[in-house]
Amino acid sequence: MKISHLLSAVSLLPIFAVPAMPGIVQPAAAGTPAGCTLRIHVDGLRNSNGNLGSVLFTSADGWPDDTKKAFRVGPAPIPPGTRKATAVWENLPPGNYGVAVIHDENSNARLDKNFLGIPKEGFGFANNPHVGWGPAPFKDALVQVGCPETGITIHMLYK
C-alpha cells in the first residue's frame, strides 16, 4: 500500500529545506551489500485502529512531508487490542536515516488534521525530540543503522 502525504499535516508552519548536515554518513552506495534491519518499536498508541505508517529519509531533502523523496515508506499492522506496534525495515544499507511515524487510525494513508491544521492522529520521530509547531528537524530524528540489527523506540504524540 502506497503511503502518500504521510506526514504533511505534522507541519503546522511552512517547512523550509534543512541544509545538508556535514558529517552525516549516508547509506552505502548501490552495489554495497545491504543486510541491516531497523526495528521501529512504537508505544503510546491511543488504540489499535488502523496501522502504523513509517518513513525513512536519507537526507533532509523532502523531510518529512515529501514521501516521494523518502528512501522507504510503508505501513505496519497494529496488533488488535494493543497500544503498540513495530515496523520492520530489512535489507537496509548501513548508514543514517531520518525516521518518522504516524498512527493512521482510519487507514487512509495520510495524517489527518483538523480545520486549524493540528494533527488528529498520532505522530512521532526517532529519538523522541520535542515537537512544537512543526515537525522535528531532520538532524534530530537521525538513527544510525548498523548490521545486523538496530532497534529504536518512538513514543507516539497526539496534539
pLDDT of residue 45: 98
pLDDT of residue 33: 54
Task: Write down how long the chain is.
Answer: 159
* Domain spanning 34-155: CATH 2.60.40: yes
Cell of 37: 534491519
Q: What is the pTM of this model?
A: 0.80
Q: How would residue 48 be classed by pLDDT, with cut points 50, 70 and 90?
A: very high
Nearest residue to 151 (alpha-carbon basis) of 71, 83, 87: 87
Choice between 63 and 16, residue whose per-residue pLDDT is larger: 63
Produce one character per residue of 96-122: b if its CB has 16 or more CB atoms within 10 Å, e if not: bbbbbbbbbbeeebbbebeeeeebebb
Cell of 50: 488502523
Query: Distance between CA atoms of 65 and 124, rounded to whole angstroms?
Result: 13
Residue 112 has pLDDT above 80, yes or no: yes
Q: How would residue 3 be classed by pLDDT, with cut points 50, 70 and 90?
A: very low
Query: Percent of the chain, pLDDT > 90?
Result: 72
Residue 100 has pLDDT above 70, yes or no: yes
Mean pLDDT over residues 73-94, rounded?
97
Q: How many CA atoms lie within 13 A of 96 on its CB side?
A: 15
Under DSSP, the state recorded for 87 is: E
Domain boundaries defined on the chain: 34-155
